[in-house]
Amino acid sequence: MENMKKKFYRALTIAGSDPSGGAGIQADLKTFSALGCYGMSAIVAVVDENTVGVTGVHPIPVEFVTGQIRSCIDDIGVNAIKIGMLHSAELIRAVRTILDEYPLIANIVLDPVMIATSGDPLLEADAVETLRQMLMPRVRIITPNIPEAEILLGKRISSQDELPALACELSHRCGGVSVLLKAGHLHDDKLIDVFYNAESGETLRLESDRVTTVNTHGTGCTLSSAVAAGLAKGMTIDAAVMAAKDYNSAAIKAGAGYHTGHGHGPVHHFHNFW
């Protein structure tokens, strides 16, 4: 009888906690729920932040983080994992080690969180190379924005036309991973993200209308979680990325009509429901 029961699509987020609810673990779990997945979380840090900025980061002991990950995988299991803010090289190495204990888990999405929407740094400087060399080759897709891609590439990005070649270059420099390069920080009239699928060698242009709004807190977390949700549900990587782009764009557009906080407000994760 137990074997006849339905099973949830299961998605695990490994990230920091945002008490204001717009980014981090909270945004990830909202996204998983909105897209039909059972969400679980391993909290790596308690972040003191709101729509205005980050006041402080209180790290969770590394062994406690890895314990949370094991507890979720060993008991409930996962169909996909989203990784967000990993603030230190020690934590990055620990996450890579524990992922290697589960070699069959392939659907891993890494949002290389380095800078908050407010501009506050979220990743220690010495951890960038550890992230690139140790963790990125283990995941299936990374989702950097323009400032994060500039840090990873070590050069400035100034135009939309550069993005396809730079997404491919990022893939090669980060262990052959697929790359969703987000164009939100450019100032063109159209917002055109670029996805380089390292598994097929093809590049997709993902175009959407640019929405004039300050409510962009947690957009990166939301997009990467949406990709993970699609992979958890069995979508191809192209389909998961395209569906995530559509969901995130609609969440930004719907959230633009709300006033939340005194800075960068959140997107509307449940725009399909209310």
Q: What is the pLDDT of residues 184-204, one digit of tens each?
A: 767 666 789 999 999 999 999
pLDDT at 188: 65
Does the structure show a pLDDT above 90 at 144?
A: yes
Q: Is the per-residue pLDDT at 46 higher than 70?
A: yes
Q: Counting beta carbons within 10 angstroms of the beta carbon of residue 124, is it exposed (0 to 12), middle (13 to 18) or buried (19 or more)?
A: middle
Query: Assign residue 99 a region: left if phi > 0, alpha if psi is -120 to 50, beta otherwise?
Result: alpha
* Average pLDDT for 137-154: 94
Indicate the pLDDT class of residue 60, thresholds 50, 70 and 90. Answer: very high
Q: What pLDDT does residue 142 have? A: 98
- Residue 51, φ and ψ in degrees, nearest 5: -70, -15
CA distances from 274 to 24, 51, 135, 243, 270 (A): 22, 22, 38, 20, 6
Among the residue ranges 154-158, 174-178, 187-191, the one predicted with the least confidence is 187-191
Helical segments of 35-107, H only: 62-75, 89-100
For 91-106, write each residue's pLDDT tens digit.
999 999 999 999 999 9
**Strand ranges (DSSP E) for 111-253?**
141-142, 178-181, 190-197, 202-209
Distance between CA atoms of 1 and 5, rounded to whole angstroms?
Answer: 7
- Look at residue 210 in the predicted model and tell me its pLDDT: 86
What mean pLDDT comes out for the span 213-239? 96
pTM here?
0.95
The residues carrying an active-site annotation are 182, 216, 218-221
Q: Which domains does the chain have, with CATH numbers?
A: 8-255 (3.40.1190.20)
CA 273 from chain centre, in angstroms, equals 23
Q: What is the predicted pLDDT for the residue at 52?
A: 93
237-255 and 219-232 helices, crossing angle to 10°: 140
Rg (alpha carbons) of the chain, rounded to whole number? 17
| Whole-number pLDDT of residue 121 | 61
Query: 3 to each of 6, 7, 79, 254, how far by Cα in Å?
Result: 8, 9, 18, 40
Contact (CB, 8 A) for 9 and 40: no
Task: Read off the pLDDT band of 128 (50, 70, 90).
Answer: confident
Whether the Cβ atoms of residue 179 and residue 204 lie closer than 8 Å to each other: no
